[in-house]
Structure 1
Amino acid sequence: MIKREKGDQYRPLVRVMKQKKGVPTVIELSGRRYTMTNESHIRGNREYNRRK
């Protein structure tokens, strides 16, 4: 396994699992799924503020 330090840059492989209107909404990175949430979504504003 490669040791990475804070501030290092690298090019990960990302798989787009789902998209809406050409914008990826669900991606898979290193075996984990991530969802992209818009702040105008029903629960989006709550999730957006939690991430800050």
Structure 2
Amino acid sequence: MLTFILVLLIIWAAISVIGFVVKGLLWLAIIGLVLFVGTALYGAAKRKIKS
């Protein structure tokens, strides 16, 4: 499960970078950042529950 969350975080980070680099895709960067933060919080919550 941790591997899956890390893969998602990498994907969301890449989407955010692409959104900031490509002019006109700021919306993609915002979505990527929101998904990144959401996935990080979900992973932290799941990890805290298990320990």
User: Which band: TM-score by shorter chain?
Assistant: under 0.3
TM-score with structure 1 setting the length: 0.24
TM-score with structure 2 setting the length: 0.24
* Structure of greater relative contact order (alpha carbons < 8 Å, 6+ residues apart): 2
Name the structure with the higher strand share: 1
